[in-house]
């Protein structure tokens, strides 16, 4: 793998190339994942920082009716757990339950973990090493850019269903850009969308998920909630945090998107810096969808 001057590769002890450094951001180097968001400290900060705002927007860390089960003792898995912030929060609230977080990138804490938490590096596109029906709650959030549409339909959702026990719940939270007014925002969102389409991926898969779940015939109930999430501090604290999450997200894809736009990284940064100004001016928002699906008994 030859790299130009802006790309560097990190070698593991066994010589495997684990990460790529592109325009100063670190990315995984797995051949079986199209995920193109950074996995460095800056990205970890972005993900962890947004947790409280998500709880405020949605009125809690989850919406499925599993509170009682969690109190008594449930088995929960978080697919693509990121920094593990959701798991750690849930594990503290529900000490009788057991939580496992899986992710392709090792960006979770490794020390001082509560006894009811485990983080493991797995790719959900491989069959996960858990028995069928192992979990009462299978949770997944913000993985729109991780999969092609076919992978969502043929691998990710079937794997989530397989892992859920009859009577258990699947909970998914996804987002997509609602408006993208303003020259810079429009250009960046179009570039992300074009890049994803070129990979067979769908930036607005979140709104399709309820329909995909319905076609499986695995659920007795599917609850779909949609929220328009305003961006910018004039709309309050969670909107201010949402804007930061959105803008930092655009920075986190710089390595791939600046390259696909064929522009210099400095030019890309300048476009990203304009997004908050345009968001205030044009009242930019993004859509979030929280889907709770009850697996048939």
Ligand X SMILES: C[S@@+](CC[C@H](N)C(=O)[O-])C[C@H]1O[C@@H](n2cnc3c(N)ncnc32)[C@H](O)[C@@H]1O
- Residues near ligand X (CB under 6 A) are 33, 35, 37, 39, 47, 80-82, 102-105, 123-125, 141-143, 146
- d(CA 61, CA 51) in angstroms, rounded, equals 8
Burial of 121 (0-12, 13-18, 19+ CB in 10 A): exposed
Which residue's CB is nearer to ligand X, number 80 or number 276?
A: 80
Closest approach of Cβ 29 to ligand X, in Å? 12
Q: Where are the alpha helices (DSSP H) in the chain?
A: 41-58, 67-72, 85-93, 149-151, 157-163, 183-198, 205-216, 237-252, 254-261, 265-282
Which residue's CB is nearer to ligand X, number 34 or number 263?
A: 34
Q: How many Cβ atoms are within 10 Å of 169's Cβ, its own excluded? A: 26
Residue whose Cβ sits closest to ligand X = 82
Closest approach of Cβ 266 to ligand X, in Å? 25
Closest approach of Cβ 2 to ligand X, in Å? 25
Which residue's CB is nearer to ligand X, number 182 or number 243?
A: 243
- Overall residue count recorded for the chain in this entry: 297
Q: Where are the alpha helices (DSSP H) in 75-146?
A: 85-93
Residue 119 near residue 87 (C-beta atoms within 8 A): yes
Closest approach of Cβ 220 to ligand X, in Å? 26
Closest approach of Cβ 61 to ligand X, in Å? 11
**What single-letter DSSP state applies at residue 127?**
P
Which residue's CB is nearer to ligand X, number 80 or number 168?
A: 80
Which residue's CB is nearer to ligand X, number 55 or number 207?
A: 55
């Amino acid at each position: 793998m030859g790299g130009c001057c802006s790309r560097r590769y990190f070698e593991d002890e066994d010589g495997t190339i684990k990460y790529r450094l592109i325009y100063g951001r670190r990315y995984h180097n797995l051949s079986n994942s199209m995920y193109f968001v950074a996995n460095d400290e800056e990205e970890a900060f972005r993900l962890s920082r947004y947790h409280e705002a998500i709880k405020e927007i949605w009125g809690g860390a989850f919406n499925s009716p599993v509170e009682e089960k969690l109190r008594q003792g449930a088995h929960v898995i978080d697919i693509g757990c990121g920094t593990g912030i959701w798991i750690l929060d849930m594990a503290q609230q529900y000490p009788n339950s057991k939580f496992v977080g899986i992710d392709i990138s090792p960006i979770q804490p490794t020390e001082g973990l509560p006894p009811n938490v485990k983080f493991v590096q797995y790719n959900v596109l491989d069959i996960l090493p858990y028995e069928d029906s192992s979990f009462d709650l299978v949770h997944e959030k913000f993985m729109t850019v991780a999969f092609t549409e076919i992978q969502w339909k043929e691998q990710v959702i079937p794997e989530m269903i397989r892992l859920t026990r009859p009577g258990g719940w699947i909970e998914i939270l996804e987002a997509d850009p609602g408006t993208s007014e303003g020259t810079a925002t429009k250009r960046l969102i179009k570039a992300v969308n074009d890049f994803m389409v070129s990979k067979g991926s769908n930036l607005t898969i979140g709104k399709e998920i309820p329909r995909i779940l319905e076609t499986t015939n695995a659920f007795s109930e599917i609850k779909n909630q949609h929220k328009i999430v305003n961006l910018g501090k004039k709309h309050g604290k969670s909107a201010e945090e949402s804007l930061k999450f959105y803008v930092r997200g655009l920075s986190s894809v710089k390595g791939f998107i600046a390259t696909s736009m064929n522009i210099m990284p400095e030019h890309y940064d300048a476009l990203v810096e304009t997004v908050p100004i345009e968001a205030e001016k044009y009242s930019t928002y993004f859509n979030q969808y929280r889907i709770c699906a009850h697996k048939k008994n």
